[in-house]
Structure 1
Amino acid sequence: MKKLFQRQIWRWMRPVLAVLCPCLLVFAGICFYIVHQLDTSFQQSSISLNSLIQGSADKRLEEIYRYTLTLELNNANAFLRGTQSVPQPLPSSVYRLHDMMQDYVTTNPIVDAIYIYYPDLDFTVGNLGCYQASSYRALQNLPSPSGMDSWKQQLLVGNSSFFLLDNGGPEQKLCYVTPRVIEGEYTAVTVIELNPDALLQTFAQAQESYPNASALCILFDDQILSLEGQAAGEDTAAALFARWKENPLSGPVRQDGIVGFFSESMLPDLYYASFYTENDTMKTVRATAFICVAGAFLSLIIAIAGSLYIGSRSQRPLRRLLAKLGASEDKGDSYELLDSKVETLLETHSKDQKLLSEHQLLLDASFLRAALRGELRSESAAFAAANRYGVSFEGTAYQVLLFSGEGELFSESEQWRSPLDSLLRREQAKGLAAFYNGRLCVLLNTDAPLSETSLRELCIRILDLLCPGRAAAAGIGNAYDSMASIVTSYQCARRALLSCEPSEQHPVCRYTPDMAAGHHGNTKSMQLFSRQIYQKQYDQARKTLDQLCEEYLSTSAVPSSDVLRQQAVSSLLMDAACESLPEQETSELWRLLSLPCTLSEYRLRVQGILDHLDRVQMELPAESKPLPIAVRAKEILDENYTDPMIGLYFVSERLNVSNSYLSTAFKNMYQISVTQYINSLRIERAKSLMAETSMSVRDVALAVGFSSDASFIRVFKKQENKTPTMFRTDCRHDT
């Protein structure tokens, strides 16, 4: 046994390792990919930093350019450009222009000075004042006048804005020059002196976003204007820049462990750069690679150890199970043994289920035959028999289909059952089937009676399936809402079947009142008598009794049918007695009506019961008279509609009346059936829950009493013409 389980552990380990090793290879590939991506990300972040620097600097320079346009439109500037000599005294607008320039220099840290030079007037207006050009140059602490001519020559070149390095003083100054040329003549030149160090300080945000940046730099025309950081000196920065200028599309430039990234400004001859120490920037990448490799090996060790531990632990219950199954020492394969045992158990279970199904079909057939023989004379007896036979009905309508034909399928050999069950499942028709008195009888149980078209199509399919090419016919009985009325539906179907001749065309006949002539008597007198009983008009019922006996109870055509009609009248009277008399007295009256007797004796007994019920009704004071059965049923439904078991059977058993009596009385008073009223209460409650809570459709269905969300959705859509989800959506839109 030990060797067997060692083999099993190794057998269990092999697929684990077969999956684990490729996973580790994939993991290693992912690690290398991550390292590569980190390096690429580093380069992308550096490029993004340069783009941010370029964008920040160009944005500030664009603001300066817009300011020069503002100066171009200034009235004082336009006046000085158009005049031939310097007016004395100067207009106040010129001094306001000077004040505006002075304010701009004060508020803008990257601007050291700003002035406008007018060549025709040899006059300058700037933040230092309004003077002759040489005097203004002297105020800038420059050794004027010798350098003034060369300075003028540098200013009066080109027709568009450009940068210029002013080397006339002790410090280099970066000047942004905007000449104003009209018809080839320079009328004015706007000069803005920039502070490169201050411009570099605007990149503080970029340095915070990219803390790995070691140095930032601004270059103009191969000259370094400003450099901040310790990563690279001016010589290194200049060398890296010169190499980059040779091939600007080459990307980052490396030298002596320094990586440089360069980008060109939107303005000519101006460049931005960022420098990194390669050891510092790659430290994170190397650490990440080391962690990934270490994690891979650690995962491998843990996976192998865990697999061994789990394998040994998982074998314990298997070992005990195999010992119980009688596995031999060191022989055989435990998995094959288990597979064979499980297959045997499944086959046994399948056979047991098939036997149970066949047994239940036999019980269903026995129940149906008992109902067809008229043994279930009351609703309570039918309900008890259904429980005893294990038969469950979900619908409230019962209808019998009767088939007669020739051949083996219409015999008691039960060969018809399997294809018939398959057909009913395909048609989603629920019911029972049994062979009775040489005919095939099918009892349908639905929520509502099926249409005549649906019934005929179902009958034709059954006949085509069971009697192809042979003479056969079908009869359709009436639908009733009581199990005790199954025998009545059967009699109707039998009468309908007798009215049509079997043929290969498979005719189908539906029971009609015309077929009741000489068989069921005049049903109008029974309907009148029933209405009077429901309305407790017992004196009027006594007057109708003679007509009932003559036209309904004494047809003399089919004696067995006369007995059934007497039972229907007796059930009607007992329901009325249960509503007005004590239970013991009601039982005695039922025993009296059940005794064999002639029609005249039966009429006298019925008349005596009507007299007794009328006296009890008259003797009761108005305030002590019991509420009508329909009102009491409504109170029960209002209190218990969320109970999934509530229904016509539940209420009729609680009120001790038959289903048919309660159903008719309820519909006469409220013009709605019991089932429809229950559904209306549940749907109204469901609408409140859907609108006011976030409960799911299934939870709402169970909360209001439906057995499943499918039946809830079907009833909701039928009543509201929309699904619950659509109703909730509409409520939210309205809110």
Structure 2
Amino acid sequence: MKFAKLIQFTKGRNRRTVFLAMLISNILILLLPMAIGMILYTKVEHVMVENASSSNYAMLEQLRQSADARLREVEQLAQQVTFNPKLALLLNTDDPDQQYKFIEFIRDHLERYRLSTSGFIEDYYLYFAKSDTVLKPGMKTDSQTFYDHYYRYPNMSYNNWRNDILGTYHNMAYLPAQLLQRELNVGGIDHARITNSSNVITFVQSLPVREVTDISGSLVVLIAEKQFMDMFASIQTANKSSIFIMNENNDLIMGTDPQLILSKDIMEHFQVSDGSFVHAVNGEEMMVSFTSSKQVGWKYISIIPMNLYLERVNVLKWTAYSLFLLCLLVGVIAAYLLAFKNYSPIKQLVCAIQKNKKLPYDSPVRNEYTFIQETIEGAFVEEQNLRGLLFQQSPVIRANFLLRLIRGNFKQSKDFGSTLDFMNIRFVSEQFAVLLVHVDDITMFTQDQSERQLALINFIISNVCTDLTAKLHHGYAVEVHRDRIAILINLSADRKNEMLVDDIKHIASELKDIIENRFKLFITIAISNVHAGIEQIGECYREAMAAIDHKMVKGQRSLIYYDEIKKTERHYTYPIETEVQLMILVKRGDYTAVETVLNSIYEMNFLSQPITPEFGRYLFFNLVSTLLKIVNSTNTPYEKFIDKDLEVIKSIMTCDTAKEMLFKTKNLFKTLTELLHTERSDYSDQLSGEMEAFIAAHFTDQNLGLPMIANHFNLTPQYISTFFKKMTGQNVSDYITRIRVNHAKEILGNKHLTNAQVARTVGYTNDIVFIRSFKKLEGMTPGKYREQQ
């Protein structure tokens, strides 16, 4: 802006030519060191590339030596296993009676080999084709089970794995890195299994070693790709390169950058054992260095962007550019000062005006005095316009300030008092409280819920509350939400502390009466505690927000004090026994009992011991969860008892009060209970028959009892006991005893069987319990009964 005004003010003095001449001369002076810098940059670039290439090759060679040393461990393991004298016998074994030899081989050899390996070898296993057996330390299984439940390649089917890896001849072959999934037990055999995935390099040696066509098995060693990645980390950290490993056939074993593709042009350079060259990869110049391993025939390749090589050179280049720009800036400043050497008397005044007022560059200016005069006149006009604009926007500015003040989003600065005066806000004490008014229902006031009507409602509530507060204190209202108004009350300093709380309660109660009785607007009011200090206004608002949330528990159209909600419980009562009882009653189709249980749960949690709104929602979420458990356990189609477009949990969680949630929950349970009641016409007879058949088939099992039957039918023991007694008139234990005693009577005729043998035959653990049960039903001991036969 200053330079543009300069051009206008000096238009008749031909200062532009002088300024441009000085600028061009400065540029020419700066071009000489820039040219010298470019020459030096070219020389330094060449030296840096050579040094970086040598350093990168040395690091790559060190990586190769480390990798070869670790791969020798794999080959040593392969030699130990393949030349084991017992391996040949196992390769030709297909007799099931000889399977114990596999176990001995695991114990005596495979486990011992594991102790001699380091963490580089992740795992290894043997495959025996004739017996379709897979051995690994601590495990023996068949190939299908091994692939399905232990190790499998997601991109390879079982048949491909068995044919390509186990059935194809491989001599000390390293296969490219692939994703391998492992299934691990969590907590034992009967517990869940988790899947762990990682990339591995697979080493395969066909067995016997010297047999090429008749392959009897394979040794497979799994090498974690992470082991190589850890070795690559030092090089990648040092020069930010991408590392690749290729075998002697130029097949990619693994790489650190999956998006970088090695083209055929690059492959042609790998005919020699080692070297380096520059090549374009994905449109970017790269330095490629490589070295070969004589042990396994691998090639270790490092690819680094050329801009990393030239990073230090670029620093020098940008330093030269910075010096050039600095010199150019100095030249411009010198030209600027020279142009203004005869313009000093009024220059400071003109610059001061330009700093504080932005004017169009092309505005016509006759001379400096005219410019200053027009600027001053324009400033007066702008001041008048600004005052008018501020007057129009003062309500919005005041509301925004109050909103930030109530929420605690302000910093009390030195000019805070003047800010309050500007907003026409006056605090008479350090005591503050916040009332939060939530509009629950406006249907009695108006059926029109437009923004205009809502603005009118907020205006009414704000003015009534402000007038009520003004009798003894100062109140300031602000809209914090579409249907929620906050009133900041600054309590009078001449009122005693014990009277302040009563004053606030009186204001809230009177506000509620006026709004509901006169204007037919139904509201809920939350009242915070009294706090001292402007910085505690935000705490008042947070307390009021916490209290207004409790309208879900206390219901709408109420007065809620923060002191009351501090006593609420942070847990809910819904024991597992009650949930089981509720599920049984629903399955029976007894909605009257279901409704009684739901009412009892509601009374325990919302009437006897008030809880927080969060835990109230958790309770109803749990009740809906119980409902869905019943739906799943009874295989009831979801669409049969609820609209397919209705989200059950969302419809309940969006309710405003706990009573509304209870009403919707009852309706859901009632619909499901009636549905189950109509669908269980023959269910009881069928279930009773299935239970009797199960007992008849398993009465010889010593574990037969309520838990076993309940587990089989996926029901609770309590439900089984009650249901069986209702259907048969007998307890489950008495029924089982009768079945066992009747069967015992049939085999007591065999004089060669002792009482203990008979007891075990019919399902008793010892003869004492058997004799006691027999005598209880038959009135005599088994021995007496045998004598009468």
**TM-score (structure 1 length as normaliser):** 0.30
**TM-score (structure 2 length as normaliser):** 0.28
Which structure has the greater CA radius of gyration?
A: 1
